[in-house]
Structures are given as structure tokens and as C-alpha cells.
Amino acid sequence: MSLLGVTAKVEPEKEQAMSLVITLPQSQSMSSSSGIGMTQIKNRNLPHAQQRNSNSNTSPINTDHLTILSSMHPISRSSARKSSQNKKALLIRVTIIGVFILSGVLLFSDQILTSWNNTRGPATAVVSKEKMLHQQQQQQQQRINTNDFIVEEIDTIKNTMAGDGDNSNEQEDLMIEGTVIIGGGGDGEGDDDDDDDDQKIAYYHQAAASSSTSIQQHSLVLLHGSKFTKEDWIQNSSSSTSKNIISLFHQQFPYSISITAVDLPVKADYNQLVSLLEAMQDKGLISLPVSIVTPSASGFIIVDWIMNDDQDVTNKLPTYIHTWIPVASGSVLRFTNEQLTKIDLLEDFSIFAINGNLDKMGKKVTKKLVKHTSTITKSIELKGGHPVYLDSPNEFVNAIGFEITA
């Protein structure tokens, strides 16, 4: 007899069969060793089963279908669900581990690549250095070519000026560098017998630009202090300007002022200064008389000239110098009151004293000049220290430019 047959014929038996399915595993587990489970099944209130047994006189009920019924038990289904959940949990764990591994690789990718490059880095580093060296050589060659071009241009300008000193307008927008030869001292004539005493003085020169109008041009000569050179006049030593002082003069007064910065030693005497001014005029760089700036120790050259008791020398001063611009020149303090009074009587000669507001010695110099040479002296105080021309370059340039062109 099959289970399906029983279910199809008698509907109440279906309910009894379902009851049997539910209770069967318990009875089976309790009677697995003694066989009493089958007796309990027979004692069930199953009329149809009893009638069938009496009619057929058969042996006890066949239990082949019990295995199928037990597999359908809720406990089995619960085990299946747990197995599925375990698989899902395992999959989730594997996924999480994979994500962690991938994150670690991404996080430490730079270190991994760096370590990998280091293992094979020497060849790469050599190539990189060789490439960098090649680029540096190319840049250096370009600078050399540019410098050669500039030198050639300067040499051409020098030759033109030497051949035709009055044609300096052709170089009006180009600052040039050169040297002049002066005698070692004495009368400043530079005789052939004194060639061993000749001295080369280096200079920078910025010519004034030509103008269609008749503008008077002034020559400005720049000396330097004991700790400086002519290079300081072309260096951008202040954050207040992007141009050097010579360029500032040419920018502010392009048509009226030519500028020449020279490397005359601070210990030079006035005879050497006279020789230098004459040599620069012969070369077409300046026109006498000039305005001369003497910062700090370089002021001794003018003081030495004025303190000389030779009347002819004193009368000669205005021929070479129109305006003396001492910038905190301490040598001025050597003057006696009588010597300064004599200067105050000179014609065609003026003094424009400059000092920084932080320079005590510079203030003393300006005060003495104003007190004893008030007729010919003007003064101005700018913001800065002893080298005030470097501290306030724009104000320095404008003050001098307006003074000598007035």
C-alpha cells in the first residue's frame, strides 16, 4: 500500500497521516532498539487501516516510506537553512577579507612601487642624472652664447665711442662696461715715463637718450664706499624696487642725465680724481663739470681737494665739479670752520648733503655743512641707515635727479 493511495481515498486519513508524520520520528527514536514503535502505530485509531489489515491478513505495515517522511520533517528543513546560512556567512567573510586585502594594496601601493623601483633603481637614476646633466649643459651653452653676444655688442659700442666720442647717442639705451687708464698721481698728466704707475679704473656707463627738443644733459658720477664697489649701483638690493639704481636714474631722467659708476679707490687723492674725469671726458663718457656722489669714505677725495691750501686748486674745483653730493661722508667732520667758509664763497659750485634718518654720523655731517656753507648747501634726510641709497633707492634717485636738473 502506498502513501499516495491512502491520501487520495480518505480525506480524514490525510489528517491522520500528517499526524503520523509529525509524531513518527519521536516514536521511532524512542523504539529504535526494541521495536515498540511499530506497536504504537498499530494501536493508533486508524479504522481504515484496521479494516484493511483484517481483510488482507497481511503482515505488519510496510515502513519503507518512513524515510521519505522523516526527510520532510521541520528539523531537516532547519538543518538545510543553517547550511545555507553558513555558506552565506562564509561568502561574506571571504568578501570582507578580499576587500581588506585590496584596500591594503591600494593604501600601500606607493610604498610597494617605491620598493620595487629601488630594487631596480640604479639604472633609472643614472639615466635621470645624465638627462639632467645634459639639460644643464644646454642651458649653460645658451648662457655662454648670450654672454658672447652681449660682449660683442659692448665691444662694438666701445670701438664706436673710441672712434667717435661725440656719437654716444647711438648707445643711449644700453648700459656698457669698460675701463679707463689714469696716472698714478702727481700732476695727473700720465707721462710715458710713469707708465708703471698707470691705473685701470673700471666703470659702468648709461648714456642719456637723445631728444628732439633741446634738453640740457648732465653728467652724474657715482663713487662708492669702502665696503662697496660699482656693482652695488646695479644690484637690486631693495625690495621696494625691481630695478637697480642706474636703471632708475635712466628711467626717471632718460633725456637729461647720463650716469657713470666708477671703481675709484676710496684712498685715491684729488689728483687721481682729476685724471679720471679728464680721461672719461676724452672717451666721451661725461661732460665737465659733473655732479659727483661720494658715499661714506669716498668723500675724502673732495675733502682732500678742498683742504688743500693751494688757491689755484680751489679755483679749479668748480671746473670739474658742479654739484658735490656727500652721502654721510665722515671726512667732512675734518673741515675747520674757516675752510668751510672759504667753500661757501665759491661760485658755480653747490653741495647737496644726504643722510639716513637712522644714521647718527650722517646727521652730524649734514648739520655741519648746512651750518657753515648755508649759501651753497641743500640737504635731505631719507629713510634708512648709513647706505641710505640702498635703503630708499627711489627717493634717492628722485632727490638727486630733481636737484641737478633744476
CA 316/CA 336 separation, integer angstroms: 20
CA–CA dist 370, 352 (Å, integer): 9
Span 241-248, average pLDDT? 80
Q: Is 384 left (phi over 0), alpha (psi -120 to 50) or beta?
A: left
Mean pLDDT of 235-240: 60
> 310 — alpha (psi -120 to 50), left (phi > 0) or beta?
beta
Domain check: are 110 and 235 in the same one? Answer: no
Predicted confidence at residue 241, as pLDDT, reads: 52
Alpha helix stretches (DSSP H) within 164-256: 245-252
Query: Which positions ≥6 away from 329 have C-beta within 8 Å?
Result: 294, 295, 296, 297, 298, 299, 300, 302, 303, 365
pLDDT above 80 for 114? no
pLDDT band at 19 (very low <50, low <70, confident <90, very high): very low
Q: Is it the case that residue 157 has pLDDT exceeding 80?
A: no
Residue 301 contacts residue 271 (beta carbons within 8 Å): no
Same domain (yes/no): 86, 31: no
* Claim to verify: residue 102 and residue 208 sit in the same structural domain: no
Task: Name the phi and psi angles at 358, rounded to 5.
Answer: -100, 5
> Do 300 and 385 belong together in one domain?
yes
Position 88 confidence tier, pLDDT thresholds 50, 70, 90: confident
What is the number of structural domains in the chain? 3
Q: What is the pLDDT of residue 206?
A: 96
Reported as a single tens digit per residue, the pLDDT across 168-213 is 444 456 899 999 999 755 444 444 455 567 899 999 999 999 876 7
> pLDDT of 217-231, one tens digit each?
999 999 999 999 999
**Is residue 126 in a domain?**
no
What's the gap between Cα 350 and its chain centre?
46
Query: Each residue of 55-73: pLDDT tens digit?
Result: 444 445 555 544 444 445 5
Q: What is the pLDDT of residue 115?
A: 63
Last residue of a domain, one of 72, 102, 128: 72
Q: Are residues 341 and 194 in the same domain?
A: yes
Q: Report if residue 24 sits inside a domain.
A: yes
Q: Are residues 187 and 43 in the same domain?
A: no
- Residue 364 above 80 pLDDT? yes
pLDDT tier, 9 (very low <50, low <70, confident <90, very high otherwise): very low
- Domain presence at residue 146: no
Domain assignment present for residue 9? The answer is yes
Question: What's the predicted TM-score (pTM) here?
Answer: 0.57
| Sign of the dihedral defined by the CA atoms of residues 352, 237, 168, 254, in that order | negative
Give the pLDDT score at 183. Answer: 78
Nearest CA to 276 out of 174, 182, 342 is that of 182
Q: Classify residue 121: in a domain, yes or no.
A: no
Does residue 3 carry a pLDDT above 70? no
Main-chain dihedrals φ then ψ at residue 295, nearest 5 degrees: -70, 135
Q: Are residues 111 and 197 in the same domain?
A: no
The verdict on residue 183 lying in a domain is: yes
CATH at 342: 3.40.50.1820
Task: Please indicate, yes or no, whether residues 68 and 112 belong to a single structural domain of this protein.
Answer: no
Q: What would the pLDDT profile of 283-297 be if each residue is shown by its tens digit?
A: 999 999 999 999 999
List b or e across 262-291, with b for residues whose CB sees 16 or more CB atoms inside 10 angstroms: bbbebebbbbbbbbbbbbbbebbbbeebbb
Q: Phi and psi (nearest 5°) for 167? A: -95, 40
308 — pLDDT class (breaks 50, 70, 90): confident
Q: Which residues of 222-251 are buried (b: 16+ CB within 10 A; e: fewer)?
A: bbbbeebebebbbeeebeebebbbbbbbbe
Residues 46 and 85 in one domain: no
On whether the CB atoms of residues 393 and 238 are closer than 8 A, the answer is yes
144 lies in some domain: no
Angle between helices 270-282 and 300-307 (to 10 degrees): 110
Residues 132-155 have pLDDT tens digits of 666 666 666 665 555 454 444 444
Segments forming the whole domain that contains residue 212? 164-405
Confidence of residue 281 (pLDDT cuts 50, 70, 90): very high
Q: Quick one: 206 and 343 in the same domain?
A: yes
Higher per-residue confidence, 99 vs 374:
374
pLDDT at 347 over 80: yes
pLDDT one-digit tens code per residue, 389-405: 999 999 999 999 999 99
- Average pLDDT of the residues of the chain: 75
Q: Is 145 inside a domain boundary?
A: no
Q: At what angle do helices 337-344 and 300-307 cross, to 10 degrees?
A: 90
Instruction: State which of 143-147, 163-167, 271-275 shows the largest mean pLDDT.
Output: 271-275
Q: Are residues 199 and 283 in the same domain?
A: yes
Indicate whether 41 and 97 sit together in one domain.
Answer: no
Last residue of a domain, one of 116, 132, 148: 116
Which residues are CB-neighbours of 318 under 8 A, at least 6 positions away? 289, 346, 347, 348, 349
Is the separation of the CB atoms in 330 and 356 below 8 Å? no
For residues 376-387, average pLDDT:
96
